[in-house]
Amino acid sequence: MNNRNEHYSSEFPNVKVKIHTISESLRRHLYIFKTVTGVFSFRKIDLGTKILIEHMVIPGEPSVLLDLGCGYGPIGVVLSYESPESLVFLIDINKHAIWCTKENIKINLRNNRNIRIFSGNYFEPIKAKNLKFNGIFMNPPLRQGRKEFLTLLHIIPNFLESNGSFQFVIKKKMGAPFVLNYLKKEFPSKKVDIICKRSGYWVFRCFQEE
Ligand SMILES: C[S@@+](CC[C@H](N)C(=O)[O-])C[C@H]1O[C@@H](n2cnc3c(N)ncnc32)[C@H](O)[C@@H]1O
């Protein structure tokens, strides 16, 4: 992918679309995911995504959860399967990813009444709804640099309930130690935990109150 229009973060990636199928066991349940060329990690679940899914802390009670930058939907699908009483939102800018997410919800979840899917730029599609989440989950797009993600870190707390947390995964080589220092410096009164370090990936949980 050498052109901006072919990148997975494009609204409509300019690639020849071919459907792929991924089967993956996550949190001891087997999922089948439909993906298409041009969507992030369309051949195989990304290792960072898998590590986040295996270690993310899912609230025990019915909650309002968000998979931000959902791609073909693995994080949000697992959140909904594990917490069927929760209302799960999924958002992505890539329209092909949103098509896959809709398919993957039909394939993997029997009761999909508690799911809301939006296509658009981060919180823009839901900003009129005044929503606050008990958990926001993300494998952030960092291929084009960290700046956008660092800006997002300042927006996220506005969308969290007081007990809510932001959980995300970053590869050590892609700047996880930098992000940890940045969070500590920019949000000195907020909690920041690394809930797992595995295979070069760090899973963060931050902004939750003590
Ligand atoms: C690293 S991928 C993770 C995808 C998926 N969550 C997964 O783990 O397989 C990041 C996702 O963020 C999406 N994205 C990039 N910029 C975005 C934006 N401005 N608003 C919403 N989604 C965006 C990309 O299209 C991509 O699907």
User: Of ligand 1's atoms, which has the minimum distance to the CA of residue 10?
Assistant: 25
b/e per residue 25-64 (b: at least 16 CB within 10 A): ebeeeebebbbbbbbbbbeebbebbbbbbebbebbeeebb
Residue 6 is predicted with a pLDDT of: 59
* 62 alpha carbon – ligand 1 mean position (Å): 25
User: Of ligand 1's atoms, which has the minimum distance to the CA of residue 138?
Assistant: 6
Total Cβ atoms within 10 A of residue 173: 9
Name the nearest CA neighbour of 114 among 62, 168, 44: 62
* 125 alpha carbon – ligand 1 mean position (Å): 14
Dist CA 121 CA 76 (whole Å): 17
Residue 4 is predicted with a pLDDT of: 44
* 121 alpha carbon – ligand 1 mean position (Å): 10
pLDDT along the chain (210 residues), means of 10: 58 82 98 97 98 98 98 98 97 97 96 92 96 98 93 98 96 97 97 98 92
Residue 141 is predicted with a pLDDT of: 97
**What is the separation, in whole angstroms, between the first and last Cα of the chain?**
43
- Please report, for the chain, the start and end positions of each structural domain, with discontinuous segments joined by +: 46-206
* 112 alpha carbon – ligand 1 mean position (Å): 22
Residues with CB under 6 A from ligand 1: 8-9, 40-41, 46, 49, 69-71, 74-75, 91-94, 97, 121-122, 139, 141
Contact indicator for 48, 171 with CB cutoff of 8 Å: yes
Residue located nearest, by CA, to atom 13 of ligand 1: 69
* 12 alpha carbon – ligand 1 mean position (Å): 13
Name the nearest CA neighbour of 95 among 12, 186, 22, 152: 12
Residue 11 is predicted with a pLDDT of: 76
Q: Are strands 19-26 and 29-36 parallel, antiparallel or unpaired?
A: antiparallel
Residue 2 is predicted with a pLDDT of: 41
H helix or E strand, kind and range, residue 185: helix 176-186
Residue located nearest, by CA, to atom 24 of ligand 1: 9
User: Of ligand 1's atoms, which has the minimum distance to the CA of residue 70?
Assistant: 6
CATH 3.40.50.150 is the classification of domain 46-206: yes
Question: What are the angstrom distances between the C-alpha of 132 and each of 8, 42, 55, 180?
Answer: 27, 30, 23, 24
For the entire predicted model, the pTM comes to: 0.95
Residue located nearest, by CA, to atom 16 of ligand 1: 9
Residue 210 is predicted with a pLDDT of: 66
Q: Are strands 115-119 and 133-138 parallel, antiparallel or unpaired?
A: unpaired
The token pair that represents 151 in the structure block:
């800006």
User: Of ligand 1's atoms, which has the minimum distance to the CA of residue 94?
Assistant: 25
Question: What are the angstrom distances between the C-alpha of 192 and each of 18, 59, 182?
Answer: 40, 17, 11
